[in-house]
Amino acid sequence: MPMVNNSFKNEIVRASGYRYIDFANAVGGESVGSGWYTGMLSADNIHPAVLGAQKLALRALQDVPELGGVE
């Protein structure tokens, strides 16, 4: 399970007013030490599984709709 603490960077980005893609929120990895939602992390505990990759892509399209070519 990923154990990286990015909370300080996340707060800076959120406070900046810039748009961003909240990938951690999409897979349940927002809190330090939290695991991704069931079925989203591959067996190597590093890369997303197919379901996780789908959720990450959907989150990117939600946060930056023009990535899908439709504005």
Give one DSSP letter per residue of 17-32, joined into a string. ------HHHHHT--ST
Question: Does the pLDDT value for residue 52 go beyond 90?
Answer: yes
Residue 55 has pLDDT above 90, yes or no: yes
Model pTM score: 0.75
11 phi, psi to nearest 5 deg: -65, -40
Per residue in 9-47, pLDDT (tens digit) is 878 988 998 988 988 888 887 776 677 889 999 999 889
**Exposed (0-12), middle (13-18) or buried (19+): which is 17, by Cβ within 10 Å?**
exposed
* Predicted local distance difference test score (pLDDT) of residue 36: 83
